[in-house]
Amino acid sequence: MPSPKIVLGGDVGGTKTLLKLAEVNARGVWKSLREQRYESCAYQGFESIVEDFLRGDVPDSACFGVAGPVKDNMAKITFLPWFIESDSISEVFGIRDVKLINDFQAAGYGIDALEDGDLLSLNSGKPEIHGPRSLIGAGTFLGEGLLVWQRDGYVALSSEGGHADFAPRGSLQAELLMSLNSRAGEYVPYGSLLSGNGLAVIYEFLHEHRGMTDALGLLSNKGNADLPLAVSQGALLHNDPLASAALDLFIDIYGAEAGNMALRTLPTGGVYITGGIAPQIVLGLTNGRFMRAFLDKGGFSTLLSDIPVAVVLNPKVGLLGAMLCAARMQAN
């Protein structure tokens, strides 16, 4: 039997970078060797993180899911001054095969590595075997992706759908858009609202334009990176009116855009809600509000009701997908 190979996987984002080293056998089954999280903004470049993590080890292959578009084996990380080139990583660290994929491609591959407890169903629907799958996830920004079945497995396709223009529904959302237009110009992408910073923006908007009281005093520290978590906790744990209204509006927009994506892609294999925010607001996602916005598509609500929808609770789904990709590189 061939000797095991060493593979490296990574989930590279604007906030954090996760790296994992594992030993993989001829059947594609891996055994973890070590794993580490890095705060991305603390490093000048990705190669500095790889160097610190490998400590001289030389994997046989590596796959990195990166937050940003990948072209010609190169990527510019969104919200960071990082340029990553697969050829450079291969040369610097002696790794024979290096692959870059979009972070939501990685998350898509990671779906197949999840266990039962990693998923929380919002709508059971009528799943079709080998049907297309869609992913949507709010985190540092909004990510979207699509998986289609080819021959013996799913192939993940990249997307930058989170940068599409926000389309408001109702007078409150229209007022929110006009407020953002006055500050940021005509272009307001969904990701500017469906993100950690976006939840804080919605909170501030409701305070300033609807006169709602900041009883928790969160705006006195609005530059704090923990503000989105504080808003969600204020809504779900303390029943604060402003925080609750902000989270409700956030979920209305989230559910509507997930429904838009479902109409565009008809993912009969399911919609998967990923990203770092979803596990923090599970109570808000499961109270029916998200699915009401998802299904509110006029005559197409029945069509959408057949599509399974689930929240991914495992925050390492992107890392799992990158590891699966790296392992398959060895198998092939």
Q: What are the strands, taking DSSP E only, across the chain?
A: 5-12, 16-24, 30-39, 61-66, 70-71, 74-76, 83-85, 97-102, 119-123, 133-138, 142-150, 153-157, 270-274, 309-312
Using DSSP bridges, classify how beta strands 83-85 and 74-76 pair: parallel, antiparallel or unpaired: antiparallel
Q: Give domain 117-313's CATH number out of 3.40.50.2000, 3.40.50.300, 3.40.367.20, 3.10.450.50.
A: 3.40.367.20
- Tokens 């029945």 belong to which residue? 302
Show the tokens assigned to 258. Answer: 């997930």
pLDDT the model gives residue 163: 95
Phi, psi (degrees; rounded to nearest 5) at 6: -105, 130
Helix (H, G, I), strand (E, B) or coil at 248: helix
Domain with CATH 3.30.420.40 in the chain: 5-110+316-331
Query: Does the pLDDT of residue 76 top 70, yes or no?
Result: yes
Closest CA to 99 of 70, 131, 136: 70
Closest CA to 111 of 325, 263, 282: 325
Query: Does the pLDDT of residue 250 top 90, yes or no?
Result: yes
pLDDT band at residue 232, thresholds of 50, 70 and 90?
Answer: confident
Average pLDDT over residues 215-224: 74
CA end-to-end span of the chain: 16
pLDDT band at residue 225, thresholds of 50, 70 and 90?
Answer: low
172 C-beta neighbours (distance < 10 Å), count: 16
Distance separating alpha carbons of residues 74 and 85, to the nearest angstrom:
4
Residue-averaged pLDDT of the chain = 92
pLDDT band at residue 1, thresholds of 50, 70 and 90?
Answer: low
Domain with CATH 3.40.367.20 in the chain: 117-313
pLDDT band at residue 15, thresholds of 50, 70 and 90?
Answer: confident
Query: Does the pLDDT of residue 8 top 80, yes or no?
Result: yes
- pLDDT tens-digit map of 163-202: 999 999 999 999 999 999 998 899 999 999 999 899 999 9
Query: Does the pLDDT of residue 117 top 80, yes or no?
Result: yes
Residues contacting residue 132 through CB under 8 Å, at least 6 positions apart: 146, 147, 148, 149, 265, 266, 267, 268, 269
pLDDT band at residue 238, thresholds of 50, 70 and 90?
Answer: confident
- pLDDT tens-digit map of 254-307: 999 999 999 999 999 999 999 989 998 999 999 999 999 999 999 999 999 999
pLDDT band at residue 332, thresholds of 50, 70 and 90?
Answer: low
- Which CATH number describes the domain made up of 5-110+316-331? 3.30.420.40
